[in-house]
Structure 1
């Protein structure tokens, strides 16, 4: 590992962990690696800094930007772990492959995560069980050349920022039936910039109308739920947890996968199948107790308090005895070392 004039004291000592907005404050360090001549090479941990790129860098023009969202935690015994890095590496590799970008060697990926977090462990205070480090690994095309082509040069970086609760209240969402996030056969399963840029316009229109997020429906018929903005979508009804199956248009969420496994561990009946808008409306009209919630790395488990379908508002169950909170608490207990990690999800680095 290379290091270049790393800060001797951390800005975490002056940081107000009681009053901050997610994503605005980076930790003190950055890990960099570059791809040139067909090979990846580590540039090591460096002070957090701006990147210098040519205006012709292909990442600015043709969409070759891929990233992940992960978390690191201070466990109950004081050690530090990264949550499910192997699963995130697999998804990052699929995204890179879909965008015709070179896959990172697994050891390089883990080196970047581990080195930045160990250098920034002051950002995981031992007395704050509500704080985690959000990790942003990303790869961008850096070849300086205009022209629609696959880049021959890339930069891999890992940056971190502290995170508490991503959403601080239950959400009001709209089922989107006009615009589509992704279609089957496209790149909806890849975590790359274009998927998010294309979603901004309909999401912003929903926000202006008083919603927090949208629930995307399938691009072909707009009849079935797919994702909930920045999260996968789940429903608990009639004693069963239900979520749409992953596909080429749905991101394979790591939190989604973890919640499914926890539900199985707790003997909660589970179904992976399509959820139609008509089915959801029917449940509400029948007076069924319906829990509707999003799951994701940043959001964890976010209850939906109001969902609008075809201009009609419906109100899912969000009281404290909801099953979704049992699932969330179980996940948090595992990630923070308060319960046995029988699936080996926590990757210990200290």
Structure 2
């Protein structure tokens, strides 16, 4: 099967268009159900609210899929040498396979060294020489992701998933690519696919929680974020920045769910790991205010002001704390 760039883009676009159509139909059905419930002789507010929310979510998913259908890579890989050496009749299949393996090995090493542009070129060469090289395509997608080409990464992850639908790492990569593009519902769907394969996948748990957090669905965000934090603590002895960020999302989720004392404890832990971050001091300040501890709130907001003097949330917090 020939997996050139044009066919990969076309297939990815077709998949997104189908998702958009399905979501649009679901939005229409949910809206009709909400209207029926609202106009019945005995209106059921619970059903109206549930179906309205379902219609809104489906419409949001449809718009995300429409945007995804227009994805194109940031740039086409420079593959003039690939075209030359892979022309029909120039080398036998065995020679091309060996060349692909060599490019894959170089690309893998470059990716490990965080030389993402060079890695991308080598991995693109490997997949052009041998389109069925699924590992090369997976790493090509990650190199595009780390270069910030999230649209190109989305196409590559979807292309790889068509051949290897059971590789949960591909679904995870697709989820993070979508998350960076603000497609939070589609991202959540991809992360859930990864978790269906491996329920303890820490990175996918973080991604699912992050997608729900960005949607403002804090109740749904909290369980995967909590599980991701527990898993990260088991895997790592010291707390890296990613885990501190995860802790911050959990803290804000708890805050918005009005679990202020738990949120405060989480903000304090995050601030100890990242003492130069004013955001965690702000969170502590708002928690103290909700708990009626104005003196502690003022102290937290003053610390935040020293670290981030231009933040409007700090000034508003100080005003609420009586300064």
- After TM superposition, the score normalised by the length of structure 1 is 0.23
Q: Which has the higher helix share?
A: 2
Q: Which has the higher strand share?
A: 1
Structure with more contact order per residue of length (Cα contacts < 8 Å, sep ≥ 6):
1
- After TM superposition, the score normalised by the length of structure 2 is 0.25
